[in-house]
Chain A
Amino acid sequence: MTLSILIWLPLVVAVLGAILGAKVAPKLSLVGSLVTLGIAISFVVRFKSGEDGLQFVTDTSWISTLGISYKLGVDGLNVLLLLLAAFLFALVFVYANLREWERPGLFYFWLGVAQTAVLGAFVAQDLILFVAFFDLMLIPFYFLTGIWGNGTREERVRGTQKLVIYTLVGSLLMLVAAIATGVLTAEQHDTRLNFAISALQELPLSKGSQEWIFLCFAAAFLVKMPAFPLHGWLPDGYKAMPLPALGVFSGVLSKVAAYGFLRIVLPVFPDASVHFQELLLLIALGSILYGSVMAFSAQNVRLVVAFSSVAQMGFITLGIFALNEDGAQGALLQMVNHGLVTVPLFFIVGLLAARAGGSEEIKDLGGIAFRAPVLATLFLIVSLATLAMPGSANFAGEFLILLGVFNAKAAFAFFASIGVALAAVYMLRAFIKSMHNRVNPSVDSREISFSDLGVLLPSVVVILALALYPQFGLKKSEQTTKQTVAQVQAKTGQLTADKTSEEQR
């Protein structure tokens, strides 16, 4: 059972569904996504933690002329993200199956393409292959948003255009940077062109080249997350996206960007990562504070969740650029946590809107808990996890991140911890205003249906399980994370050593 089957299965199912037509497509895609999830689980089970290097490697030449290989592999960095992606996509397919979609063949086709692209980006071990999957991820969301999105046609098209153009600006710069990485490495070390990440890792570029290449990669990843101040597409884009697409976009696609930092940027451009550490920490801090404040003042529940993602992604970036093991481990754990909470949150937004006559504005909500205690409980659990209640896995994640940053740059950790407090404010505000208070006249409070429960319950169970046993993920990733940060840490260590020697002189 190779990784290729895992990543291409959704696409095959999607094409089959599109050919067989509207009646078969939804069920077929659902089965396909469940099988994909099963395969992903089998990989996690067979994964040997504590081992060096990649496992389940597929490595064949793709474009030999340019030294591009079709290389896939799993290690501690992506093993859990793979599972997360498969799980969230399965949830989304279940959710989508409960609703009616116009032109279903096409709808499930694009969702399947999205899944293949995301899984491919997670397991790609060749720089160009990664870039190709990363750019390809965007196209399905363009169509999903434009055709099945919310609002008038103009709003949808504007939202989706903004989304695509913003993100592709970053992606195309990344393409140039990726090619330059390969070409310049070959030039500076006088080797054959080779884009395998493991090979690039061993042949570091000169500091000058690393720096501009780093900026191009960072731009691509920060736009995708999105991070402040590159989030301009977020309000329009998120408002226009249909819920299934929004769930995976916020839950999984933003993680691909954060994962890109750990997989590519830190190991391949260690000098530049150290050089720009404070810039990235500032951006992360900006995202945390800006996201929190916006989430606190947003008048639309969907945007509350959207801006809370900005803040959460800020935390993840902060952990990554602590450039030490604690920070990176915390960031990885937090990626999984955030993915797990954000998808149910967006589903709940959908359920709330269904009870408030289709409106997602906070002023139209209120008192929904009145006849829906189960829905309220589930919402509360997810909210508490999001605000990193002690005892939740999110708490462990944020704690590790802050610990890492505290060791690296204490001042940043101090300001970031304000973000933890703010999270409690905006999540509870959204919860109280929608579920409690007086019953709004436009609200029809009714209990969650069994089928919707089928979507929400699995994610809540996983959140609770991970809260009890966060070590599940941390143990698997420990070994690889150590290696990932080793090179940067060597540089930071070197830097401090230089400074002390200068001071001594």
Chain B
Amino acid sequence: MTSALTLAAARGPHIDWAGLSPFVSLAAGGVLVLLIGIFLGKSARNGTAILSLVSLAAFIGLSVWQFGENKSIVSDALAIDDLTLTLAFVLGATGIAAVLLSWRSKAAEVAGHPEYYALLLLSILGMLVLIATQNLVTLFVGFELLSIPLYVLCAAEFRREGSLESGLKYLIVGSVGSATLLYGLSLLYGATGSTDFSGIARAIADDGIRTDVLLLSGVGLTLVGLAFKASVAPFHQWTPDVYQGAPTPITAFMAVATKVAAFGVLLRLFDVALPGISNEWGPAVAALAAITIIVGNVGALAQTSLKRILAYSGVAQAGYLLAGVVVGTQLGAKATVFYLVIYAAMNIAAFSVVIARERASVHGDEISSFAGLGKSQPLLAWPLTVAFLGLAGIPATAGFIGKFYLIDALVSGGYAWLAIVLVVGSMISLGYYLKVIAAMWMGDPEPAAAAAAPVAAPGAPPIMAGGSQEADELVEEPQLELFAVAWLATAVIVVFGIVPQPLFELAGKAGESLVGIF
């Protein structure tokens, strides 16, 4: 006994540093940003942002390096396979976009740059844990690590009531979701006697407990917990309010990255741990997907704020993504991964335009702020147009191919009716996407007097920086990083809409790493 212990101590557990390296890059990045930021003082704005970008770039680079290794690390708690790494790449890209969008934002200024960026990086770390997890305990750890920084970030502009409200609302609803999830996970453990995904799958296969009440309620509660995070209806009610109140760069980050993480873990949980009872959860998830598609699209019709429109459209898109989970096949997983990638691009493009307008117009993110944009600023109008056409699934954008792939998976998996719901949802969605596009191209630009910032009377002292945290100072200077992000994302949408084969291969590899299903 003692000899065994000394032996273990002497040899130490084997640590796969290479596999852990993407995690390390994010964790170290977060800590460094926080520590170094303190000493940077006034130059923190640039310094911390650059440091975050470096950390995210390292994260992406290390993920690419590990691609194709397909191994489990930390005693099988985390899977470093192609699914994890593909989604990690999306997370990294989203993170970079979020940092660039935050660079000149008021939120980072108010909250303090080091804290802001550190929280952002740690939240991405939580997402990474979540998509890599194959153990119920790490699943919950990742879930909380994702959520807690986001609660804070939503309230980052803590002098603005809307932001505070958003953070508080997210905290309360998110805690309910966490509690439900935890309860579900414990029931799963109780029913199968294992916290390991493969152990759960084995227990389901061996013991013949397919219709066990404990197991099914565990699955149900877990699904509900994750549905809160992925804003799947009817657990989506927090989404529009939180999205509207949160600082817009954070909204963009939440809309994209949280969804990537939530669907990553849904895919792994249902397709690795629970494929044995797919006949039990399949119809329930399909019903959720159908409800989500309809609720999201109909809800968006009445909105006039772009952030709320994007929130509801995000709900609808969650329904489309869930459709790929429903079928429980590799094809479904591939389609979901494919759609996640382009979903990220479309939302990043849309949100960067919203941010640019928000900073330049007194109308904020209301549709009126976009009126006549096609005439006055075509360079901003085009990305939003392409993104919305993509979200609606028009050909020549990647959105078309993504919907195509999902419908293909649904029809092959015997859920043709859900495919019909999906296209009915797309039709409804045109109602609000076209409303915005019509405002941009067919409306008249707002009169110059209204567009200009409230001008200080001549001779009055210039408004001091930081003098008033409340007043949104409108900026006139061109914000190159916003244009760059918007156009890069637009290029992704169009290029993958015309040459989708590389993305198909990537999604194919990711789907094939779920070896338990076909």
Are A66 and B408 CB-contacts (below 8 A) given A146-B442, A156-B442, A161-B438? yes
A157 on the interface (CB 8 Å rule)? yes
B508 on the interface (CB 8 Å rule)? yes
A438 on the interface (CB 8 Å rule)? no
Q: Are B396 and A132 in contact, with the CB atoms below 8 A?
A: yes
Q: Which residues of the partner chain B approach A179 to less than 8 Å between Cβ atoms?
A: 404, 407-408, 411, 419
- A-facing mask of B386-412, CB < 8 A → 1, else 0? 000100011110001101110110011
Closest chain B CB from A190 CB (angstroms):
13
B423 on the interface (CB 8 Å rule)? yes
Q: Are A132 and B434 in contact, with the CB atoms below 8 A?
A: no
Are A175 and B404 CB-contacts (below 8 A) given A63-B504, A65-B501, A139-B394? yes
Max chain B Cβ within 10 angstroms of own Cβ: one of A65, A168, A180? A65
Majority DSSP secondary structure for residues of A touching B:
helix
Nearest neighbor of B407 in chain A, beta-carbon distance: A179
CB contact list, A141-186 vs B, under 8 A:
142-143, 146-147, 153, 156-157, 160-161, 164-165, 168-169, 172-173, 175-176, 179-180, 183-184
Q: Are A146 and B438 in contact, with the CB atoms below 8 A?
A: yes
Contact residue among A128, A135, A147, A161 (Cβ-Cβ distance under 8 Å from B441): A147
Question: Which stretch from B83-91, B139-147, B152-160, B425-433 is at the chain A interface?
Answer: B425-433
Q: Which residues of the partner chain B approach A449 to less than 8 Å between Cβ atoms?
A: none
Q: Are A136 and B407 in contact, with the CB atoms below 8 A?
A: no
B420 on the interface (CB 8 Å rule)? yes
Contact residue among B375, B401, B420, B438 (Cβ-Cβ distance under 8 Å from A176): B420
Nearest neighbor of B420 in chain A, beta-carbon distance: A176
Q: Give bound CA distance, A160 to B438, whole Å.
A: 9
Q: Which residues of the partner chain A approach B394 to less than 8 Å between Cβ atoms?
A: 135-136, 139
Closest chain B CB from A150 CB (angstroms):
13
Closest chain A CB from B436 CB (angstroms):
12
Are A139 and B389 CB-contacts (below 8 A) given A146-B441, A176-B423? yes
Nearest neighbor of B378 in chain A, beta-carbon distance: A106
Q: Are A180 and B426 in contact, with the CB atoms below 8 A?
A: no
Closest chain B CB from A55 CB (angstroms):
26
Q: Give bound CA distance, A165 to B416, whole Å.
A: 22
Contact residue among B412, B500, B504 (Cβ-Cβ distance under 8 Å from A183): B412
Q: Which residues of the partner chain B approach A164 to less than 8 Å between Cβ atoms?
A: 430, 434
Are A135 and B400 CB-contacts (below 8 A) given A65-B504, A146-B441, A157-B438? yes
CB contact list, B461-484 vs A, under 8 A:
none
Q: Give bound CA distance, A161 to B434, whole Å.
A: 7
Are A172 and B508 CB-contacts (below 8 A) given A132-B400, A153-B443, A179-B411? no
Q: Which residues of the partner chain B approach A183 to less than 8 Å between Cβ atoms?
A: 408, 411-412
Q: Give bound CA distance, A63 to B335, whole Å.
A: 14
Contact residue among B404, B437, B438 (Cβ-Cβ distance under 8 Å from A66): B404
Nearest neighbor of B499 in chain A, beta-carbon distance: A62
Q: Are A66 and B405 in contact, with the CB atoms below 8 A?
A: yes
Q: Which residues of the partner chain A approach B407 to less than 8 Å between Cβ atoms?
A: 175-176, 179
Nearest neighbor of A145 in chain B, beta-carbon distance: B442
Closest chain B CB from A362 CB (angstroms):
29
Q: Give bound CA distance, A136 to B395, whole Å.
A: 6
Q: Give bound CA distance, A136 to B500, whole Å.
A: 17
Q: Which residues of the partner chain B approach A504 to less than 8 Å between Cβ atoms?
A: none
Q: Are A169 and B408 in contact, with the CB atoms below 8 A?
A: no
Max chain B Cβ within 10 angstroms of own Cβ: one of A157, A164, A172? A172
Q: Are B430 and A132 in contact, with the CB atoms below 8 A?
A: no
Majority DSSP secondary structure for residues of B touching A:
helix
Task: Please classify how large the interface on chain B is, using the bins under 10, 10 to 19, 20 to 34, 35 or more.
Answer: 35 or more
A64 on the interface (CB 8 Å rule)? yes
A103 on the interface (CB 8 Å rule)? yes
Q: Give bound CA distance, A168 to B394, whole Å.
A: 9
Q: Which residues of the partner chain A approach B393 to less than 8 Å between Cβ atoms?
A: 172
Q: Which residues of the partner chain B approach A63 to less than 8 Å between Cβ atoms?
A: 401, 500-501, 504
Q: Give bound CA distance, A406 to B406, whole Å.
A: 45
Closest chain B CB from A120 CB (angstroms):
10
Are A172 and B408 CB-contacts (below 8 A) given A65-B504, A65-B508, A135-B395? no
Q: Which residues of the partner chain A approach B395 to less than 8 Å between Cβ atoms?
A: 131-133, 135-136
Q: Which residues of the partner chain B approach A143 to less than 8 Å between Cβ atoms?
A: 441
Closest chain B CB from A273 CB (angstroms):
21
Q: Which residues of the partner chain A approach B504 to less than 8 Å between Cβ atoms?
A: 63, 65-66
Nearest neighbor of B442 in chain A, beta-carbon distance: A146
Contact residue among A64, A131, A147, A173 (Cβ-Cβ distance under 8 Å from B501): A64
Q: Give bound CA distance, A146 to B385, whole Å.
A: 14
Q: Give bound CA distance, A62 to B374, whole Å.
A: 33
Q: Which residues of the partner chain B approach A165 to less than 8 Å between Cβ atoms?
A: 427, 430-431, 434
Closest chain A CB from B492 CB (angstroms):
17
Contact residue among A160, A169, A172, A184 (Cβ-Cβ distance under 8 Å from B411): A184
Q: Give bound CA distance, A160 to B437, whole Å.
A: 12
Q: Which residues of the partner chain B approach A64 to less than 8 Å between Cβ atoms?
A: 501
Closest chain B CB from A260 CB (angstroms):
15
Q: Give bound CA distance, A134 to B423, whole Å.
A: 16
Q: Which residues of the partner chain A approach B505 to less than 8 Å between Cβ atoms?
A: 65
- B-facing mask of A54-65, CB < 8 A → 1, else 0? 000000001111
Closest chain B CB from A199 CB (angstroms):
17
Q: Give bound CA distance, A103 to B427, whole Å.
A: 30
Nearest neighbor of A149 in chain B, beta-carbon distance: B442
Closest chain A CB from B391 CB (angstroms):
14
Q: Give bound CA distance, A103 to B445, whole Å.
A: 14
- A-facing mask of B88-126, CB < 8 A → 1, else 0? 000000000000000000000000000000000000000
Q: Which residues of the partner chain A approach B400 to less than 8 Å between Cβ atoms?
A: 132, 135
Nearest neighbor of B431 in chain A, beta-carbon distance: A165
Q: Which residues of the partner chain B approach A132 to less than 8 Å between Cβ atoms?
A: 395-396, 400
Nearest neighbor of A181 in chain B, beta-carbon distance: B411
Q: Are A172 and B426 in contact, with the CB atoms below 8 A?
A: yes
Closest chain A CB from B334 CB (angstroms):
8
Q: Which residues of the partner chain A approach B396 to less than 8 Å between Cβ atoms?
A: 132, 136
Contact residue among A62, A156, A161, A175 (Cβ-Cβ distance under 8 Å from B423): A175
Closest chain A CB from B39 CB (angstroms):
48
Q: Give bound CA distance, A161 to B442, whole Å.
A: 12
Q: Which residues of the partner chain A approach B408 to less than 8 Å between Cβ atoms?
A: 66, 179, 183
Nearest neighbor of B338 in chain A, beta-carbon distance: A65
Q: Are A168 and B443 in contact, with the CB atoms below 8 A?
A: no
Q: Give bound CA distance, A128 to B443, whole Å.
A: 34
Nearest neighbor of B439 in chain A, beta-carbon distance: A157
Closest chain B CB from A164 CB (angstroms):
6
Q: Which residues of the partner chain B approach A176 to less than 8 Å between Cβ atoms?
A: 407, 411, 416, 419-420, 423
Q: Which residues of the partner chain B approach A168 to less than 8 Å between Cβ atoms?
A: 427, 430
Q: Which residues of the partner chain A approach B411 to less than 8 Å between Cβ atoms?
A: 176, 179-180, 183-184
Q: Are A147 and B442 in contact, with the CB atoms below 8 A?
A: yes
A-B contacts, 27 of them at CB < 8 A, read A63-B501, A64-B501, A103-B375, A128-B404, A131-B395, A135-B394, A135-B395, A135-B400, A136-B394, A136-B396, A139-B389, A142-B434, A146-B438, A147-B442, A153-B443, A153-B444, A156-B442, A164-B430, A165-B430, A165-B434, A168-B427, A168-B430, A172-B427, A176-B419, A180-B411, A180-B419, A187-B412
Q: What is the interface of chain B, defined by CB distance below 8 A to chain A?
A: 374-375, 389, 393-396, 400-401, 403-405, 407-408, 411-412, 416, 419-420, 423, 426-427, 430-431, 434, 437-438, 441-444, 500-501, 504-505, 508
Given contacts A66-B408, A136-B396, A176-B423, 14 further A-B contacts (CB under 8 A): A63-B500, A63-B504, A65-B504, A106-B374, A136-B394, A142-B434, A153-B443, A161-B438, A168-B427, A172-B393, A176-B416, A176-B420, A179-B407, A179-B419
Q: Which 5 A-B pairs have the closest CB atoms?
A: A132-B395, A172-B423, A146-B442, A65-B504, A136-B395
